[in-house]
Amino acid sequence: MSELTDKVALVTGGSRGIGRDAALALAKAGCQVAISYLQADEQARQVVDEIHHNGGQAIAFKGDISSPEQVNRIVLQTRGAFGEIDILVNNAGIAKVQDWQDITPDDWGAVLAANLTSSFLMSHAVLPAMQRRGWGRVIMISSMAAQTGGVIGPHYAASKAGQLGLMHSYANLLAGKGVTVNAIAPALIETDMIKNNPKITPELLPVKRFGKTEEVTAVLMMLLNNGYITGQTINVNGGWYMS
């Protein structure tokens, strides 16, 4: 039996891409899985159906997790369905491809809210109970853009760098409390996020191919199963940025 068996996991942005694969992997490991999503009703339903088909437990909640009220609702609904949340995967985010000269204050605010504020609100909502119970795992799905600037825009890079600062602070504050907080920094994973950007090609990567969502999820599961690793950023980027 895995240490994750019967744990309650909440994956934000769990209807597609890395979030979808993470939800499926957590369910396979024996977790009860809640996903949050913003718009993709059909994809969210498919994730829940697939987990149920494979004998797992899952539920999906629609909402804008840059809103404190909606975050509180989703957390309360998850607790009502499964109990206290043991694992949080802050995966939800948007990638608005723009030339830096064209970014408006509204663009900046929207990207920071979706990518960084949501991670703060979700973490702030679940960490106290994790600390009280002496066990918890929080993962930030950041990006290589946090370390290099990336190819999407400074608003995206700043939001993802902010996730790393948030991770470092929580990891330091909660060390020794049974709660670990880490980040994964993927780059050029084959999801909707890299479509329609002519700057993004496999030739950018030393391995000359895009990454797969399951290659990110493999790192996620390693971190969730390890109570000694905390405050770390694991790069999954095909060798593009070598730390």
92 vs 234: CA distance, rounded Å? 18
Lowest mean pLDDT among 57-61, 104-108, 159-163, 236-240: 236-240
d(CA 237, CA 233) in angstroms, rounded, equals: 12
Domains of the chain: 8-236 (3.40.50.720)
Q: Write down the pLDDT at residue 62.
A: 98
Instruction: Tell me how far apart the alpha carbons of residues 200 and 213 are, in angstroms, rounded to a whole number.
Output: 17
Instruction: Check residue 221 and give its pLDDT.
Output: 98
Of residues 201 and 155, more confidence is placed in: 155
pLDDT at 220: 98
Q: Residue 87: its pLDDT value, please? A: 98
Q: What is the pLDDT of residues 125-157, one digit of tens each?
A: 999 999 999 999 999 999 999 999 988 899 999
Please say whether the beta carbons of 139 and 182 come within 8 A: yes
CB 171 within 8 A of CB 182: yes
Residue 1 has pLDDT above 70, yes or no: no
pLDDT of residue 196: 67
Those residues with Cβ within 8 angstroms of residue 22's Cβ, 6 or more apart along the chain or in another chain = 11, 14, 89, 91, 216, 217, 220
When mean pLDDT is compared across 106-110, 175-179, 195-199, the lowest value belongs to: 195-199
Region class of 226: left (phi > 0), else alpha (psi between -120 and 50), else beta: beta
What average pLDDT does this structure show over 83-98?
A: 94
Confidence of residue 167 (pLDDT cuts 50, 70, 90): very high
For residue 55, count CB atoms less than 10 angstroms from its CB and return exposed for 0-12, middle for 13-18, buried for 19 or more.
exposed
Catalytic residues: 156
Strand order in the sheet with 57-62: 57-62, 32-37, 8-12, 87-90, 136-141, 179-186, 233-236
Write down the pTM of the prediction: 0.94
* Residue 205 predicted with pLDDT over 70: yes
Lowest mean pLDDT among 56-65, 87-96, 131-140, 194-203: 194-203
Q: pLDDT (tens digit, 9 = 90+) per residue, 32-84?
A: 999 999 999 999 999 999 999 999 999 999 999 999 999 999 999 999 999 99
Q: For 106-123, write each residue's pLDDT tens digit.
A: 999 999 999 999 999 999
